[in-house]
């Protein structure tokens, strides 16, 4: 008998509690969303984002997004491409626009780490240019000229990764000090 009373009380408690409404986008996710609200988003062609890097280029705001390994259809080219770096114009945050996707090169997949320097901050740099340093899968680190973010141009591979005794190659996080031009490349 006591067991039935306990079950009945538990059922009444659950019924009285009612439904808990789902959190709305307006409320955010607690303390980490204090004083913020979502104003826009982009699907990035279904590619997982690892490192987004917003950069002011003249009057535009460009987001360079490094992706994990994988591949996806690029509707801009109609081809399935290995994941690399997405270049997104976020000047209007409510309507971000994909400018291009730079696939990984040389059989690599993914380009998780991205750094961008304006050439006028680099020692001996050409005024008005922007350069992207990115990991290229586990194979190398590359420099791209992204002065025209919609049409990046490959400049050079700055480091090829050696092989472990097991024959593997690895890259990891990179960092580029624009004021000194020194790049920290891990591989």
Count CB-CB contacts under 10 A for residue 150: 13
Q: Is 7 helix (H, G, I), strand (E, B) or coil?
A: helix
Residues in the chain: 187
What pLDDT digit, counting tens, does each position of 129-183 carry? 999 999 887 788 899 999 999 999 999 998 776 666 776 666 667 888 999 998 8
Confidence (pLDDT) at 137: 78
Q: Which residue has the tokens 């090169």?
A: 105
Alpha-carbon span 65 to 15, nearest angstrom:
47
Confidence (pLDDT) at 60: 96
Predicted confidence band of residue 27 (pLDDT cuts 50, 70, 90): low
Is it the case that residue 76 has pLDDT exceeding 80?
yes
Read off the pTM. Answer: 0.78
Confidence (pLDDT) at 47: 93
Query: What are the residue boundaries of the structural domains of the chain, listed by start?
Result: 47-185
């Amino acid at each position: 008998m006591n067991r039935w009373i306990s079950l009945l009380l538990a059922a009444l408690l659950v019924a009285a509690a009612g439904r808990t409404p789902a959190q709305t986008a307006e409320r955010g996710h607690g303390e980490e969303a204090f004083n913020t609200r979502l104003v826009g988003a982009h699907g990035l062609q279904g590619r997982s984002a690892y490192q987004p890097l917003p950069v002011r280029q003249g009057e535009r705001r460009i987001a360079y997004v490094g992706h994990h390994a994988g591949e996806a259809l690029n509707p801009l080219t109609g081809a399935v491409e290995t994941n690399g770096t997405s270049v997104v114009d976020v000047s209007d945050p409510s309507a971000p626009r994909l400018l291009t996707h730079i696939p990984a090169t040389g059989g690599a997949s993914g380009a998780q780490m991205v750094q961008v320097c304006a050439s006028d901050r680099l020692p001996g740099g050409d005024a008005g240019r922007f350069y992207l340093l990115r990991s290229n899968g586990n194979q190398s680190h590359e420099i791209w000229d992204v002065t025209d973010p919609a049409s990046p141009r490959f400049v050079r591979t700055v480091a090829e990764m050696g092989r472990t005794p097991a024959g593997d190659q690895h890259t990891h996080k990179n960092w580029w000090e624009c004021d000194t031009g020194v790049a920290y490349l891990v591989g």
